[in-house]
Structure 1
Amino acid sequence: MLQILIILLFQTVFVFGCGTPAVKPDTNRIVNGVDARPHSWPWQISLQVKHGSRYHHTCGGTLIGPRWVLTAGHCIWPGDVYRVLIGEHDMSVGEGTEQIHEILRIVVHPDWDIDHVAKGNDLTLLKLDKSPIMNDSVGVACLPQAGEILAHGTPCYITGWGNLYTHGPMPDKLQQALLPVVEYSECSRSDWWGNVVKTTMVCAGGDIVSGCNGDSGGPLNCLGQDGRWYIQGVTSFVSSSICNEVKKPTVFTRTSAFTEWISEVMLHY
């Protein structure tokens, strides 16, 4: 019965045209992080935390269903108040495309442990107060098939409003950067991440380009053979010394290792 419900869930997401942005991302000229083409990653959200009377960007996230956002476990702290901003590109101006949503329910993966990040399970699902209006600026990403492993060198893109470099400023405009996948056998070598990286994670990058503070929880966007964009990872951690350390790729929670948990939460909450 659960398998039937999961199939129906993914069929529902496909009805909304997952992974097919109205504005195509510019993937032709990416060397380092650059401004993304406005609204070309319409599933990218800004998770914002309340400080005083104002909200501030703290993490990224991905709209994966009409009322569901996928982000990282370490983005959520008990007692804090959050909201989700969808349809955003330039944080410094009101573009008229933004949609603000309250969070009805926060479901952190039961095996996430903030004191042991390397154990993995760095995932959280957020249920929105209501479904956003789907349009050219707001859409859902596709989820990969359970167990899918990307080949070494697969070109994927990280997106977010994280620091432009270690201890650097946060950009107003959404950034994107090409991060080729690094297969587990290489990423887990002793001179790379060693046993810190697990098979439930995916590494990408490892050279001069990487995720950085503020990118956490955001997507690793990978183009499928069907022409749709799939969220193959959720940004989890980088080197503690500098964001773009050689042989220390950005590490993501591998979405395809958690499709059953994601589906069960979306169905039962």
Structure 2
Amino acid sequence: AVLFCLCHVESKPSQVERIINGQNARPKQFPYQVIYDIEINKHWITMCGGTIIGKRTILTAAHCLDGTRGEMQRIKIYLGAVDKSNSTETGQQIVIVEAGSYVIHEEWDLCEIINDIALIKLPTDLEFNQYIQPAKLSEPKSLHADTNAIVSGWGLVNGHTSTQHLQYASVKTISNKLCESLKDSNKKFYSHWLCVAPSKSVTCSGDSGGPLVEKNSDGSSTVIGIVSFGVEGCPINTLRFFTRVSY
């Protein structure tokens, strides 16, 4: 199998990571989750997921935005949404920002898929409520090995049928040592990757940039990873790789 970056946005900006064998999310279940479209040549293209981490800040993946530079006009961000297609959905808000409203990690490398992290900056403060809330950030250098976690996003429900309803799946992270031993590629392993154990629920080409979170005892969520890349074709029971937020 070949490890690949799930967006390939330089040539195919419409291809984005999606969850296979996920479950339907409930309203207010993931208030930190966003999805965003980008405008190219006056057409909106669904792009990637992201995580609210502050009143003016969305955390996402660098590969979602890097290949669109020079072409993108605006970014449309859906907040508080479960059914993206329902503009009258209770709690759903849309914020549109200009193309230059993001920052990509200065050491992002598409070929190595390292430092796959970016921030979208909002022009005004978000008003938090029960539908829109930030996730906490992982503590620096936290490993989060053998941790029960949740990944969420919009996308394919059976490998080929798309959905407008937010999906989620429970997964378990594994140690870097185990991940490196399981990967069937000659690609160099980087410690700031965070891997989840193979299972029947996998992210695949629209969840990119979205959150991998750990639930806290007080009911809040801590974002520990950003959906980054995996095995081409998104087969079940294969490793999925996330950018480690604590790195």
TM-score, normalising length: structure 2: 0.82
Structure 1 match to 2:55: 66
Cα distance in 2, alignment partners of residues 158 and 203 from structure 1: 12
Deviation at 1:53, TM superposition (A): 3.8
* Cα displacement string for residues 38-85 of structure 1 (whole angstroms, at most 9, x for unaligned residues): 221001011211145443321000000000000000000202132211
Structure 2 match to 1:213: 205
Q: 1:205 to 1:121 in 2, by over 3 A?
A: same
Structure 2 match to 1:123: 117
* Cα displacement string for residues 224-265 of structure 1 (whole angstroms, at most 9, x for unaligned residues): 35543100000000111x21343x3211000000xxxxxxxx
Contact in 1 for aligned 2:155/2:164 (Cα 8 Å): no
Which of 226, 234, 245 is the equivalent residue of 1:243? 234
Matched position secondary structure for 1:187: helix
Aligned-partner residue type, residue 40 of structure 1: Q
Structure 1 match to 2:27: 38
Deviation at 1:198, TM superposition (A): 1.6
Matched position secondary structure for 1:93: coil
Structure 2 match to 1:204: 196
% same residue: 30
Superposed CA RMSD in Å reads: 2.0
Structure 1 match to 2:17: none
Deviation at 1:99, TM superposition (A): 1.7
Aligned-partner residue type, residue 251 of structure 1: F
Q: 1:192 to 1:226 in 2, by over 3 A?
A: farther
Contact in 1 for aligned 2:21/2:157 (Cα 8 Å): no
* Cα displacement string for residues 185-221 of structure 1 (whole angstroms, at most 9, x for unaligned residues): 1110155466544210100131211111100000001
Q: 1:244 to 1:224 in 2, by over 3 A?
A: farther
Structure 2: gaps (5+ residues): 1-19
Greater per-residue strand proportion: 2
Cα distance in 2, alignment partners of residues 85 and 190 from structure 1: 36
5 Å-filtered alignment, 1:98-137, equals 98-103=92-97, 105-117=101-113, 120-137=114-131
Structure 2 match to 1:177: 169
TM-score, normalising length: structure 1: 0.76
Q: 1:160 to 1:183 in 2, by over 3 A?
A: same
Structure 2 match to 1:89: 82
Matched position secondary structure for 1:113: coil
Structure 2 match to 1:189: 181
Highest RCO, 1 vs 2 (Cα 8 Å, sep ≥ 6): 2
Structure 1 match to 2:220: 228
Deviation at 1:91, TM superposition (A): 1.8
1:253 aligns with 2:238: no
